[in-house]
Structure 1
């Protein structure tokens, strides 16, 4: 068992080299040759020559044969969620001029996944012929952290029958894998907007979508000329704009602050995984809101769209894939936060950030949002108090977003509600 573990671990280092046993055999041969000359003992010289010949034959058996390999790798799940398990199926078709010696295989795994990806070569059920080996291996993996990663390459280490020389090489290509954040359940908002739900918001702002029978409103400075309702303008004599253009504003807005200054990457940082916690919270909040009837836009602090949820399954997968690849922007400050929340006045506005001080928190606008929520992983001592004074529901964000969501004013829906 110990030798097998050593082979599997060392298979990750490609190259051809002499093993510890081979070095011992070489030194023994040199010692025997010296002793034979000093002691005038021919038998010792014969033993030395035998060891040298064995070393040469072992080296030829390991190093000389040319190998051609075809590696196929399939993953059961298209998207792997952090904390979930799936299975990897690996097929190796190895062709060589000579009978392939025994050894160990090891499939290289990224940090994003965990699993036992090594074993004996050839396996017990392998099809072995005079010029090659065909074998199929399966092993389980689980999502460890979000990210875009790759499985592989396959590392194969073989030794001669005497264990004097070893050959380790990379075989096949890598297989991309996407590990998406886990969607954790959240309690419902106790705020009026949360109790009404996104369905109420949608029905009041989306009735008659795309038609001309909505009540237009008067033009105000700043409205786009493309929103002019010409039929109503001609009828009333004043410039009128289409009321249904409110549909362009999402019922709920989730802002993930990616400013590099918010997410220190030094070893002294209190929580080096804080950004991952923020991304997990972002996914949980967005899915929670869309499940409760809201149309959700997820943007970064500069207003760049990360994902849009309107209830379709492919939209949810698209958002999770985008969040799997998202990372802090190097050197970016928080100047984009006003632009991200500007004009959002319909439903919940959730801002998720990292380290934020009192001055920035006090200047953070919410545009009159129905429920402004600020979640910060590393706020300054008085930062959340300053934000709360301007109407924000605040909480410190840790590993469990449900705790922060509850601290920000959410709790489970009561078992019985009188209407």
Structure 2
């Protein structure tokens, strides 16, 4: 994954605003020096001690002069933040590199704090010595993602301090960097996915060299087709321009369903049955994409990832699915929405990852399995994630009766317990 740099260059402060900000940024030590100096000067005037008056004025002026010089100086810094990757899996450690450059005058001591979401760990803090014009400082820190999602790293905040500790001037950059934390995709073994049921597409490639001209499959000419593929015999017979399609790639299609209903799952946080279901879906999506499938992701409320079945980019097709799974929330919908069911589901391959099922869900799954389609189901044994709260509606735990019920209706189904790897259920589906 390519690195992701982000750069920001704060502009120069206006003199009036900078001076007021500098005076307002005096530390306790700076304010103590001012108060002590003024007190000494007043005491000197009362006692007639001129030396004490001079010392008092010098002590009081020291933090004021420091604040003025620091605030009015040209503190212009640029920041480049580079992520080792813009998309990582849950449980992965990522290195973030910061390149701070001084494009203005000499700075004081810099105290740097990077804003990092709680899910990525603690906020890193650094101390950087004063920087002369044109100097660079590079620091790096690790972040570890424990929860899926999309996170913004930054902005970076820094505090400019003088060598005497009289002043603490706060600055902030505005740019952030996005990090997508996707669910873990466990490796799956190769299984038999139903032969002719393995999917549907525009055309399956046919080797023209092994058959006769009568075996060639043709279709109507489309703008952009190579004229060398025109099949003249079919063109003369049909009356429209026809082209051979034995060279067109055929891509299998699969609808991948994730049951993300709150009432169908147990547990909370990263160790819930919903997170396990998302891991199962991510593993299947990556495995099918590696096999050349176009994967259509659908959730219980009918929301799906926008895509093109024939975009020709199979290798990258799993990325939008994984990004959607990274932010897939729970839904309070009690029943599975059926608006997404179309000919691509009943005519192609369907794989569902389910939590607890109700009687209404059984009726829906019975109708979903259409004639000539290949339907697979991974059923999580949600009893292993039983929490303290009672479900909103009764669910059936997936023991042998539910699996057998699906088998009798043409499904291939497998149950997945809490501590079992995804590969176990996947191999069961191939039997």
TM-score by length of 2: 0.62
Distance (Å, rounded) in 2 between the aligned partners of 1:333 and 1:182: 27
Deviation at 1:336, TM superposition (A): 1.5
Deviation at 1:159, TM superposition (A): 0.6
Question: Which structure has greater strand proportion?
Answer: 1
Distance (Å, rounded) in 2 between the aligned partners of 1:312 and 1:249: 9
Paired residue for 2:421?
403
Deviations 1:30-84 (A, max 9, x none): 7767887999988776655443222212322333334333322333335333333
Distance 1:340 1:278, change over 3 A: farther
Is residue 2:128 matched to residue 1:121?
yes
Deviations 1:198-230 (A, max 9, x none): 666559996457999699xxxxxxxxxxxxxxx
Distance (Å, rounded) in 1 between the aligned partners of 2:194 and 2:362: 28
Q: Map 1:151-170 to 2 at 5 A.
A: 151-170=153-172
Distance 1:262 1:25, change over 3 A: farther
Distance 1:45 1:413, change over 3 A: farther
Deviations 1:233-285 (A, max 9, x none): x99xxxxxxxxxxx9995543112345x5589xxxx83133454433322112
Paired residue for 1:93?
101
Contact kept, 8 Å, 1:358 with 1:384, in 2: the verdict is: no
Q: Aligned to 2:284, what secondary structure does the other structure show?
A: helix
Aligned positions, number: 351
Distance (Å, rounded) in 2 between the aligned partners of 1:337 and 1:397: 27
Paired residue for 1:7?
none
Contact kept, 8 Å, 2:289 with 2:318, in 1: the verdict is: no
Q: Aligned to 2:335, what secondary structure does the other structure show?
A: coil
Paired residue for 1:285?
284
Return 5+ residue gaps in structure 2 as ranges: 1-20, 209-213, 218-233, 239-248, 384-393
Q: Map 1:87-236 to 2 at 5 A.
A: 87-96=95-104, 98-111=105-118, 113-114=120-121, 117-122=124-129, 128-129=131-132, 132-144=133-145, 145-171=147-173, 173-186=175-188, 194=191, 196-197=192-193, 201-202=197-198, 207=204
Contact kept, 8 Å, 1:361 with 1:384, in 2: the verdict is: no
Return 5+ residue gaps in structure 1 as ranges: 1-13, 189-193, 216-230, 236-246, 415-419
Contact kept, 8 Å, 1:306 with 1:322, in 2: the verdict is: no
Paired residue for 1:373?
377
Instruction: Name which of structure 1's ranges 85-94 and 110-119 shifts more when overlaid on structure 2.
Output: 110-119
Contact kept, 8 Å, 1:105 with 1:118, in 2: the verdict is: yes
Distance 1:397 1:348, change over 3 A: farther
Paired residue for 2:405?
390
Distance 1:49 1:281, change over 3 A: farther
Distance (Å, rounded) in 1 between the aligned partners of 2:72 and 2:48: 36
Deviation at 1:316, TM superposition (A): 2.6
Is residue 2:374 matched to residue 1:351?
no
Distance (Å, rounded) in 2 between the aligned partners of 1:357 and 1:377: 10
Instruction: Name which of structure 1's ranges 162-171 and 389-398 shifts more when overlaid on structure 2.
Output: 389-398
TM-score by length of 1: 0.63
Give the RMSD, CA atoms, in angstroms. 4.9
Contact kept, 8 Å, 1:197 with 1:293, in 2: the verdict is: no
Paired residue for 1:304?
304
Pick from 70, 75, 78: which aligns with 1:70? 78
Distance (Å, rounded) in 2 between the aligned partners of 1:263 and 1:30: 71
